[in-house]
Structure 1
Amino acid sequence: MIISPCISICKTDPQTGFCYGCGRNNEEKKKWKQESTSNQWKNDNLTHIQKRLTGWQLESFKDSYKHKIENGISLFKKNLIK
């Protein structure tokens, strides 16, 4: 199973249509939730969304996504619990 790239920073850039947190657009978010979506598509999408992000945004995504994979919760949600 491939973990969703959502890192709980769900705000969409009005110009690009991409989420500030995960870099996906609304169609990609919907496709992630569909049972018929293949792991190959998800892996490809993870590659594409990381190409959309740059600088601190990319580093923040990578750190939070890694934490989510390892601990089952994004860094944002972890900090909310504190």
Structure 2
Amino acid sequence: MSVLSPCISVCLHDPATDYCYGCGRTRAEIQTWKSPQTDQEWKTKNLEEIKARLSGFQHEAFERSYAYKKKHGVSPIKELKLKGEYK
């Protein structure tokens, strides 16, 4: 089974750490996720690593949004953007 991208459409990186405020990935990790050569084992491991980076409200919001994305195919924010209800 393929690992779903952790992107939850909150794409803004912290200038000090380069971690995305939404998914916790670095720009380099995002590029690795996009590569067709990246295997599912790496993605599974990286998903656990990025979850460990998040804490408090950020971790809770990510978990809720990622669970929603796994169930519905898009994150809640992406869904609102597609409907034109979020800018």
What's the TM-score, normalizing by structure 1? Answer: 0.95
User: Which amino acid in 1 is paired with 2:5?
Assistant: S
Instruction: List structure 1 segments (4+ residues) > 6 angstroms apart after TM superposition.
Output: none
Distance 1:35 1:54 in 2: 30
The aligned counterpart of 2:47 is: 46
Distance 1:79 1:57 in 2: 19
- Shift, 1:27, TM fit: 0.6
User: Which amino acid in 2 is paired with 1:55?
Assistant: G
Structure 2 residue runs without a partner (length 5+): none
Distance 2:51 2:32 in 1: 17
What's the TM-score, normalizing by structure 2? Answer: 0.90
- Shift, 1:19, TM fit: 0.1
Distance 1:2 1:17 in 2: 23
The answer to whether the aligner puts 1:9 opposite 2:10 as a matched pair is yes
Distance 2:73 2:22 in 1: 17
The aligned counterpart of 1:78 is: 79
Q: Number of residue pairs matched? A: 82
Q: Matched residue of 1:68: which SS?
A: helix
Distance 1:77 1:25 in 2: 20
- Aligned residues: percent identity? 44
Mapping 1:13-24, distance limit 5 Å: 13-24=14-25
Structure 1 residue runs without a partner (length 5+): none
- Shift, 1:76, TM fit: 0.9
User: Which amino acid in 1 is paired with 2:53?
Assistant: R
